[in-house]
Amino acid sequence: MVNSMSLLRRTATAAALLAAAVFATSCALSPEPSNAPRDRLHRVGSNYVLERPLQDLYDGVFVLTDNGGVPPRVVTLAQLTNVLATYDVVFYGEIHSHPGVHLAEMELFSALFQRDPRWILSLEQFERDTQGVVNDYLADRIGENTLIDRGHAWKNYLTSYRPLLQFAKVHHLPVVAAEAPGWAVSCVGQWGPGILATFTPTERAWVAADLDVRPGPYRDKFMQFLGGSPSHGGGATSPEAQQRAERSFAAQVTRDDTMAESIARALSDHPAYKVLHLTGTFHAEGFLGTVERLKLLNPALKIAVIDAVQVDNPTAPSFTPDEVRDGTALQLIYPAPEAFVDGEDTSAFMAKMKQERDASRCKYSLP
C-alpha cells in the first residue's frame, strides 16, 4: 500500500512538472510580451472604443497613435517609455487639475529616468522670473514653504507637482521654470506686443525674444476657442473686438514662445540631455503652440506629444480619428466633475476670478 501511494505521488508530481513545463514553454513562445496590456480597442463607426470602462479618476490608458501606419493601440507604461526614450523632447499635455494625469506624469518621469538619467524637467507651472528660487530649492538653500511662496507655486503644487520636483531634486536633475510671468502676459494681452519695449532689461529677459503672431493653424484654433468669449473679442466683428482678439492671441503666444525658448536654452545648457515638459493640452495638442515654436528654434529636434483626453463616457471610453492626430500618444482619462451645474449661481466665483485678474494687471502703459 505504501509503495502504491508513493508511486501515485511520484506520478502526480511528474505530471505537475510536465504541465508546468508545457505552460512555461507556451508562454515563452507566445507573441504577446509579458507586460502586454489586456485592454483592446475596437471601431464603432469612425471612432475607437476601449473594450473596458475607466473605473475612477486615477484610471487611465495610454494609446500609441504614432505607429508607422498601424492603427492606434493600447500600450503599457513600459512600452510607451521605450518609444518616448527615442525622442529629444516629450511634451505632456495635461489637464492641470486631473489626479490621473499627475500620477501618470510621475510614473513616466521615473520610468524615463530608469532608462537614462539625463533628463530635464521643464514646467509651465513655474515662471521664468522664479528660476533662481527653484534653483535654491534644488540646492537645499531654501525649504519647500519658501519655494511655494517666493516661487508663486500653483495652488495644486503639493498634490500635483511636488512629487516630480522632489524626484528631480533627489536625483540632481535640472528643472526649468519655463513660463513667462503672468503679469507680463497680462501686459501683452492688454496692450499688445509693443508693451514689451517698456520693460526693464531684466524683465524683458523673462519673455521670449520673439513672439510669433503670424496667421496659421494655431491662430485659427485660438480664435475658434475665443468664439464663445465676447470679452476677448470672440464672435464679434467690430474693430475694437478684433483688436482684443489679436491681443489675446499675442498673450497666448507670449506663453508658447517663452516656454519654447526656455526648453531650447535648457537643451543647449545641458548637451546630451532630454526634456520632459509639462504643460496644458492647448499648448501642445496637434503639435501646435509651444511644440511648433520649439521646432522653429531647432528643426532637428525629435519631439513627442502626449495628449490627455477626458472621455465623454467612462463606461465606453472612446476617441475620434481627429484626436489621433493630436499626439504621439493619448492618455484616455476619466472625466473630471463638472465645475458648475446648470442654473447654479456663479457670480461669486466670477467676481473672485476678476479680482485675481485685476491683481495681475499690467504695471506699464503705452502713450
pLDDT per position as a tens digit, 264-277: 999 999 999 999 99
Note the pLDDT of residue 360. 76
Percentage, residues of the chain above pLDDT 70: 87
Other CB atoms within 10 Å distance of the CB of residue 100:
22
Note the pLDDT of residue 236. 55
Q: Kindly report the average pLDDT of the chain as a whole number.
A: 89
Note the pLDDT of residue 6. 40
Note the pLDDT of residue 37. 53
Domain layout of the chain by residue ranges: 54-337
pLDDT per position as a tens digit, 78-101: 999 999 999 999 999 999 999 999
Other CB atoms within 10 Å distance of the CB of residue 324:
17
- Residues of the chain with pLDDT below 50 are 1-35, 230-234
**Pick from 71, 41, 202, 78: nearest CA to 131:** 202
Note the pLDDT of residue 122. 98
Note the pLDDT of residue 8. 35
Give the residue carrying C-alpha cell 482619462. 333
CA 314/CA 85 separation, integer angstroms: 30
Residues with Cβ < 8 Å from 30, sequence gap 6 or more? none
Note the pLDDT of residue 19. 40
For the structural domain made of 54-337, what CATH number should be given? 3.40.50.11550
Enter the pTM of the model: 0.87
CA 68 to mean position of chain CA atoms: 23
Note the pLDDT of residue 335. 97
3-state secondary structure of 19: helix
Note the pLDDT of residue 355. 82
Note the pLDDT of residue 39. 86
Note the pLDDT of residue 235. 54
Note the pLDDT of residue 11. 40
Strand partners, 33: none
Note the pLDDT of residue 61. 98
The answer to whether residues 307 and 154 touch, using CB atoms and an 8 Å cutoff, is no
Residues with Cβ < 8 Å from 254, sequence gap 6 or more? 180, 184, 185, 188, 193, 207, 208, 211
Note the pLDDT of residue 30. 37
